[in-house]
Amino acid sequence: MAEIKLVRVDFRLIHGQVITKWMKQTNANRIIVIDDKLSKDPFMSQVYVAAAPPGVKVEMLSVDGAVASWNKNEMGNGRLLILFKNITTALETAEKGFPLEKIQIGGTGAAPGRKVVYNQITLDQADADRLGKLESAGTEVYFQTIPEQTPASLEKILKKL
């Protein structure tokens, strides 16, 4: 059975902070990106595979593929860093049965109607509602961009929205 070390929402997916900070912090040796669009895009998948540190296996899975892989053999072996590009996909994956005990919100991107709520992390009401659903279902939701920062709870963040 694989060990989930960190589940993170970060629209940039595999980038400098993930590689230099979170990979060291978690000692993960596999990165699982759960994203329906990327799982069907061999070119972009290869871009992300190339961005990973040497010796770290990267897999691009659809939501259904990730759930099936977990249900079949709990994703095999290794220490997993699971990445979602957005909160919508994370919620969908959890609702389909993927175990999300904790989820770290690290980067959501800027767009009209979104408000900065923690460091450079933005939320709109729809994403706040999705995170509320995750938390109501038993997932601990917290905000943190780098390991050196103190995590902020969803409850604290929602007061800023």
Report the alpha-carbon distance of residue 151 to residue 15 in Å, rounded: 20
Q: Do 58 and 14 contact (CB within 8 A), yes or no?
A: yes
Report the alpha-carbon distance of residue 117 to residue 143 in Å, rounded: 9
Active site annotation includes 59: no
φ, ψ (nearest 5 deg) of residue 81: -110, 115
Q: Do 35 and 112 contact (CB within 8 A), yes or no?
A: no
Choosing from 11, 12, 14, 15, which is the catalytic residue?
A: 15
Q: Which residues are catalytic?
A: 15
